[in-house]
Structure 1
Amino acid sequence: MALGWLTPDEWVRSPRARPKALSAWHSPDYVAAVMKAEEEGSVSDEVRRRYNLGTHANPVFAEMYRRPATAAGAAIWAGENLKDGGVLYSPAGGTHHGMPDHANGFCYFNDPVLAILSMREYGVQRIAYVDIDAHHPDGVEHAFATDPDVLMISVHEERRWPFKGHLEDRGVGNVFNLPVPRGFNDAEMRAAREDIILPLVQAFRPEAIILQCGADAVTEDPLSRLALSNNAHWAIVEALNGMAPRYLVLGGGGYNPWSVGRLWTGVWGTLTKQKFPERLPPLAEAVLRDLSWPGRAAGRNPPEHWFTTICDLPREGQIKPEVRERLDALGARMTAWL
């Protein structure tokens, strides 16, 4: 809004998903447990063991039901409102670790799964799910690895929690995982985009595309060791736009508030074909200067360009031999799949 890129008629306040809607994939007893944990502000040892609530990764907090239920509501709403085509962006979505009967990786409900199920309710059958978050989308793969009408592509850091998404995993054949090493750069993501992601999506001919655009894969994020600039994400956002009549973009992970704000704002700018300024105007700069990141060294002394720019400098580099080898292996699988 500070950039003048978002007008009141371009955004909708998300409805909050009701328990019955969440139970399209999540077990009703688990949904009830999350609601009760929010209401009471604590969980018993039995609930902690059974539903993985009240743990370090899935803490009890004031809006632990309302917040994810609202993101899930956006996903379900998107299924209905994309039935005749269009593009929607839900930056608060992308909680791809949530499981049917327990919380997982700070994901209490799995809005990508609920979006796919909602699309199915409105007649959309073939769906391509692309995930470029630094972490593997284990909840989404759990839901659809055996569904021939869902194409799943994930680019994620190897040997990073949840330690899934191996190169050889394939479900019924439509699962393509690319685990990448630390230092994965813009040139390598470009190769993944051109050699694997776009050919697979084009060949699949989906009726809808969902992109989980996690901001935790950029250099500044503390929870990965990848070396991407935000330009790499935006290039994928742009390349997938128009490859299916329906396009839903989800935010996903991201733990540096400045890199998240700049990257996700740029997603919207890419979708709406805005001109990216070399220097942010004062109102937009003020938004970034008002952010804080206590407890992190980078947050105590952030570099000036986190306040004044939206575009990172490109982070190019050589394509590492192990990346090339994995791309070739997926390419061979893709050729056989085609």
Structure 2
Amino acid sequence: MNASGPLPRPLFIGHEIYRASTYGRWHPLRVPRVSTVIDLSRALSWLPREVYVTSPRAKPAALTGWHTPEYVAALLRAEAEQAVSEDVRARHHLGTPSNPVFAEMFRRPATAAGGSLLAGELLARGGIVFHPAGGTHHGMPDRASGFCYLNDPVLAIRSLRANGAARIAYIDIDAHHGDGVQRGFEDDPDTLVLSVHEAGLWPRTGALDEIGAGNVFNLPVPRHLNDDEMGLIRDDLILPAIAAFRPDAIVLQCGADAVADDPQSHLSLSNNAHWQIVQGVMGMAPRLLVLGGGGYNPWSAGRLWTGVWATLNGHPVPQVLPDTAEQVLRGLTFQGNKRGRNPDPAWFTTLRDVPRGGPIREAIRAAVLKLAERF
């Protein structure tokens, strides 16, 4: 951390634990993601040693600011024993198909949580941090949920506040509703929680009229949301809401599962839509933390988040990737999914998707207008 002023350039928080760790052979999170972003960014000379920060692993005591001591102890025990009792499964949702027992089931999420806690400290005097392993927005105080064993965005917001940010805007553009973060701050007037997510998709929360007692905005969007519709949402909802709130810090959960090529949702965005939101929020607060989130196609997630890092640094995205970067993408596999058997050739040679524009549906205009009337 720069003791005399804001960070002089964006920092990237990563760790090698994500390279080999997997939730299981058939789990959606069997695919490499963070390691792909690291390797692509290095292949493009965008990740020099001086901006890469190795994420610490959060100690159990640091997790109990949000999670219960009983849950943290159960998660530690489940990793050590590689098994859970029926009582633990029922009470804490560990050892389920969504939240399986696997070798690093405490160490991996605790590393992501440690990165988010560290980000709050690094941003004490301002700047930009990118933490693609973060964004596990479903974790609840006493249970795992939706592949999320811990809730690192909640911990990030708490860390930012402990390090001087009084008002924090949390923006979530993952395909799934950020239910855990909403629960953490729905009654907090000093935290703006705004989630744009696919209507009807698990966890089937985040209705338009779910507002809480604080500053909660939910925009469930219909299937096949296109880039032009997301542009409207950006310009008429996200950016004005942030401007009206005047935050000291912005946390952007940039889930890559909202693009057309992801197998877990039904939206039709290109990665341009995410990059344009990243560009739009830059400079709107003295502190910016960008997290990852969902993303279950290794090519689309890796390319999207590498483009986020490019956007944060002002690097131009090449039309055609150099051979070193292409080889990173050609080295990925996607077993058990039809997209992996017949990948789009552009996934090997480009970062930027072809834009996916289209007409703006009146239902989306009306919903955005309804929310915009609140600020």
CA deviation after TM superposition for structure 1 residue 173, in Å? 4.3
The answer to whether the aligner puts 1:113 opposite 2:166 as a matched pair is: no
Q: Secondary structure at the match of 2:374?
A: helix
The answer to whether the aligner puts 1:94 opposite 2:135 as a matched pair is: yes
Spell out, residue by residue over 1:89-129, the C-alpha distance to the aligned partner (whole angstroms, 9 max, x if none).
Answer: 00000000000000000100000000011112122110000
* 1:1-338 alignment runs, 5 A limit: 1-334=42-375
Instruction: Please tell me the residue identity of whatever aligns with 1:248.
Output: L
CA deviation after TM superposition for structure 1 residue 333, in Å? 2.5
Instruction: Please tell me the residue identity of whatever aligns with 1:305.
Output: A
**Alignment partner, residue 21 of structure 2:** none
> Does the CA contact (< 8 Å) of 2:275 and 2:308 recur in 1?
yes
RMSD (CA atoms): 0.7
Spell out, residue by residue over 1:283-312, the C-alpha distance to the aligned partner (whole angstroms, 9 max, x if none).
Answer: 000000000000001101101000000000
> Does the CA contact (< 8 Å) of 2:185 and 2:214 recur in 1?
no
CA deviation after TM superposition for structure 1 residue 332, in Å? 2.1
Q: Secondary structure at the match of 1:333?
A: coil
Percent of pairs identical after alignment?
Answer: 61
Instruction: Please tell me the residue identity of whatever aligns with 2:235.
Output: E
> Does the CA contact (< 8 Å) of 2:188 and 2:214 recur in 1?
no
Q: How far apart in 2 are the matches of 1:112 and 1:73?
A: 11
CA deviation after TM superposition for structure 1 residue 169, in Å? 1.0
CA deviation after TM superposition for structure 1 residue 272, in Å? 0.4
Structure 1 alignment gaps of length 5 or more: none
CA deviation after TM superposition for structure 1 residue 324, in Å? 1.4
Q: How far apart in 1 are the matches of 2:299 and 2:121?
A: 32
Q: Secondary structure at the match of 2:43?
A: coil
Q: How far apart in 1 are the matches of 2:214 and 2:116?
A: 26
Q: Secondary structure at the match of 2:252?
A: strand
Of 224-233 and 323-332, more deviation after overlay is shown by: 323-332
Structure 2 alignment gaps of length 5 or more: 1-41
Q: How far apart in 2 are the matches of 1:316 and 1:61?
A: 40
Q: How far apart in 1 are the matches of 2:316 and 2:369?
A: 36
TM-score when scaled to structure 2? 0.88
Spell out, residue by residue over 1:128-169, the C-alpha distance to the aligned partner (whole angstroms, 9 max, x if none).
Answer: 000000000000000000000000111000000000001001
Q: How far apart in 2 are the matches of 1:173 and 1:248?
A: 22
